[in-house]
Structure 1
Amino acid sequence: MSSPLDPQHAPVGDVGAALMIVDSRLKTVHDGRTGADPEQQALMEQFIASLGPEGVDDVLDGTCTLIYIFMTWLRKAHESQGKDVIEYVVPTLVGTLRMMPKSVPPEAIPTMAGLVVAAGIGLSPNLWREQYGDWTKEEMTPLEATAFLLAEHINRITEDPDSATRLITDALSRTDED
């Protein structure tokens, strides 16, 4: 029996835009910059503003899709080593989010942990979150940080700074072919 939170019932959203945002953050970190380039930040804000309310919702759904795909990959990688993805990924994620109090308010951390656990057990993170009402403005940066941290975790495991981005672009290419 299928759960109402099964990913097959979830909107995919704008995965390309969500990936662009996460990849931009990854490149900023790997270029050794301590903060976002003001020009790049202005362009990103302009891009987000150009989306309108529906477009922003699509990017939110796309970010949740990224989280789902990243957690699916991490679950398979951990299971191949006889490990539980929840046990090894969630505590590290929560610990890192807690070290980011300017960007991630403490009250957003349980939601982000819940999204990751939902994805880790094969549920749709956006449908899981939808049970609790609309997204709040305070959850936007934590959501982006969660997707970023999962991507960075994949990149560290594979020892390849582009692995997580390539994982998504390959999946998008396969979808386009179908």
Structure 2
Amino acid sequence: MSSPCDPKYAPVGDIGAALMMIDSRLKAVYDSKTETDPEQQQMVDQFAATLGPTGLDELLDGTGTLIYMFMQWLRKACEDADEDVIEYSVSALVATMRMMPKTFRPEVIPTMAGLLIAAGIGLSPNLWRAQYGPWTDAEMNPLEATAVLLAEHINRITGDHDFATRLITEALSRSDQTDEG
């Protein structure tokens, strides 16, 4: 039985822009800086300002697509280790969110956990979230931070700070090759 939240019905969005923002945040985390580099933050803010309303929607959809792709990779990795992706990954990510009250206010954690669970069971996080209305301003930073935490979780599992970014880049490259050939 098909679900209205099946990924085949979901907009893909601007995965490249979303990946650029996530990768930028990961680099800041790995550079062991206690604060975001003001120059880097200004660059990201300028980029976001150039998007306009449709560009922002594309970026949001791209971020949801990244969450879906990361969770699918985690689901396969967990299955290979006889683990449950929800138990293994979502609980750890939610625990991390709870330790970051400035980024994740308590009221947004259930939504972010829902995105992860939807993606973990093969549903589109974008379509799952859409059934509750448009994104709110209060959800913007937590959405980005959720994608960053997820990418960092994958990087920690693999022991490679660039694995999550490379995973998506290679998938996009394979997709481009399939579209051309």
TM category (shorter chain) comes to over 0.9
The one-letter amino acid paired with 2:26 is L
Identity of aligned pairs, percent? 70
Corresponding residue for residue 92 of structure 1: 92
C-alpha deviation, 1:139, in angstroms: 0.3
Q: TM-score, normalised by structure 1?
A: 0.99
Which runs of no fewer than 5 residues in structure 1 stay unpaired? none
Corresponding residue for residue 172 of structure 2: 172
Whole-angstrom CA distance in 2 between matches of 1:113 and 1:135: 15
Q: TM-score, normalised by structure 2?
A: 0.97
Corresponding residue for residue 57 of structure 1: 57
Corresponding residue for residue 130 of structure 2: 130
Which runs of no fewer than 5 residues in structure 2 stay unpaired? none
The CA RMSD over aligned residues, in Å, is 0.6
The one-letter amino acid paired with 1:48 is A
User: Match of 2:161, SS?
Assistant: coil
Whole-angstrom CA distance in 1 between matches of 2:98 and 2:33: 21
Whole-angstrom CA distance in 1 between matches of 2:96 and 2:142: 11
C-alpha deviation, 1:74, in angstroms: 0.2
The one-letter amino acid paired with 1:148 is V
Alignment of 1:1-178 (within 5 A): 1-178=1-178
> What whole-Å deviation, never above 9, does each CA across 1:98-148 have from its counterpart, x for those lacking one?
111111111000000000000000000000000000000000111011100
Whole-angstrom CA distance in 2 between matches of 1:22 and 1:35: 16
4+ runs of 1 displaced by more than 4 Å?
A: none
Which shows bigger deviation, 47-56 or 98-107?
Answer: 98-107
